[in-house]
Structure 1
Amino acid sequence: MRLRTVLATVTAGLAAATCLTAGPAAAATAPAATARDRTGAGDHSCSPSVTLDRFSDALDKTTYHGSYAGNFSALARDRHGDLAALSDRSELFTLDRRTLKPTGVVALADEKGAPLDSEGLVVDRDGTRLVTSETEPSVRRYSRDGRILDRLPVPDALRVAPAGRATANQTFEGLTLLPGGRTLLASMEYALGGDDARTVRLQTWQRTGDGHFRLAAQYAYRTDDASLGVPEVQAVPDGRLLVLERGFTAGTGNTVRLYLADARGATDTSGVERLTGQSGVRPVRKTLLTDIAACPSLGATARQPQPNPLLDNIEGMTVTGRDARGRLRVLLVSDDNANAAQTTRFYYLRVRV
Structure 2
Amino acid sequence: MRLKTLLATVTAGLAAAACLTAAGPATARQADARTGHACSPSVAVDRFSDALDKTTYEGAFVGNLSALAAGRDGSLTAVSDRSALFRLDGRTLRPTGVARLADEQGGALDSEGLVIDRDGTLLISSETEPAVRRHGADGTVLDRLPVPSALRVAPAGRAVSNGTFEGLTLLPGGRTLLAAMEYALAGDSAGIVRFQTWNRTRGGFALGAQYAYRADAGLGVPEVTATPDGRLLVLERGFTSGVGNTVRLYLADPRHATDTGGVENLTGHSGVRLIRKTLLADLAACPSLGATAKQPQPNPLLDNIEGMAVTGRERGRLKVLLVSDDNQSATQTTRFYFLRVRT
**TM-score between the two structures when normalised by the length of structure 2:** 0.91
Indicate which of 100, 106, 125 corresponds to 2:99: 106
Residue of structure 2 equivalent to 1:275: 266
Residue of structure 2 equivalent to 1:64: 57
Q: Check whether the contact 1:79–1:127 (CA below 8 A) recurs between aligned residues.
A: no
Letter in 1 for 2:341: V
Q: Check whether the contact 1:79–1:123 (CA below 8 A) recurs between aligned residues.
A: no
Q: Does 1:233 align with 2:224?
A: yes
Residue of structure 2 equivalent to 1:144: 137
Work out the percentage of aligned pairs sharing the same amino acid: 75
The residue correspondences of 1:121-140 to structure 2 (distance < 5 A) are: 121-140=114-133
SS of residue matched to 1:139: strand
Indicate which of 29, 32, 46 corresponds to 2:39: 46
Letter in 1 for 2:232: L
Distance in 1 of aligned mates of 2:62 and 2:71: 18
Distance in 2 of aligned mates of 1:115 and 1:255: 29
Q: Deviations over 1:174-193 (max 9, x none)?
A: 00000000000000000000
Q: Check whether the contact 1:158–1:192 (CA below 8 A) recurs between aligned residues.
A: yes
Q: Check whether the contact 1:135–1:169 (CA below 8 A) recurs between aligned residues.
A: yes
Q: Deviations over 1:275-301 (max 9, x none)?
A: 001100110000000000000000000
Letter in 1 for 2:43: V
Unpaired runs of at least 5, structure 1: 7-40
Letter in 2 for 1:131: I
Letter in 2 for 1:215: L
- Report the alpha carbon displacement of residue 270 of structure 1 after superposing the two structures with TM: 0.2
CA RMSD of aligned residues (A): 1.0
Distance in 1 of aligned mates of 2:138 and 2:48: 30
Aligned CA distance change for structure 1 residues 206 and 261 (closer, same or farther; 3 Å): same
Q: Does 1:218 align with 2:210?
A: yes
Distance in 2 of aligned mates of 1:339 and 1:219: 35
Unpaired runs of at least 5, structure 2: 7-33
Q: Check whether the contact 1:119–1:172 (CA below 8 A) recurs between aligned residues.
A: yes
Indicate which of 237, 242, 245 corresponds to 1:254: 245
Q: Check whether the contact 1:79–1:125 (CA below 8 A) recurs between aligned residues.
A: no
The residue correspondences of 1:57-96 to structure 2 (distance < 5 A) are: 57-96=50-89
The answer to which structure, 1 or 2, has the higher relative contact order (CA under 8 A, 6+ apart) is 2
Find runs of 4+ consecutive structure 1 residues off by over 4 angstroms: none
Distance in 2 of aligned mates of 1:301 and 1:166: 36
Q: Does 1:285 align with 2:279?
A: no
Q: Deviations over 1:2-34 (max 9, x none)?
A: 12369xxxxxxxxxxxxxxxxxxxxxxxxxxxx
- Report the alpha carbon displacement of residue 86 of structure 1 after superposing the two structures with TM: 0.4
- Report the alpha carbon displacement of residue 198 of structure 1 after superposing the two structures with TM: 1.0
Letter in 2 for 1:114: G
Residue of structure 2 equivalent to 1:24: none
Residue of structure 2 equivalent to 1:208: 201
**TM-score between the two structures when normalised by the length of structure 1:** 0.88
Residue of structure 2 equivalent to 1:11: none
- Report the alpha carbon displacement of residue 64 of structure 1 after superposing the two structures with TM: 0.3
- Report the alpha carbon displacement of residue 224 of structure 1 after superposing the two structures with TM: 1.3
Residue of structure 2 equivalent to 1:25: none
Q: Does 1:334 align with 2:324?
A: yes
- Report the alpha carbon displacement of residue 78 of structure 1 after superposing the two structures with TM: 2.2
SS of residue matched to 1:110: coil
Indicate which of 297, 302, 310 corresponds to 2:293: 302
Residue of structure 1 equivalent to 2:11: none
SS of residue matched to 1:278: coil
Distance in 2 of aligned mates of 1:309 and 1:145: 37
Residue of structure 2 equivalent to 1:26: none
- Report the alpha carbon displacement of residue 101 of structure 1 after superposing the two structures with TM: 0.3
The residue correspondences of 1:165-184 to structure 2 (distance < 5 A) are: 165-184=158-177
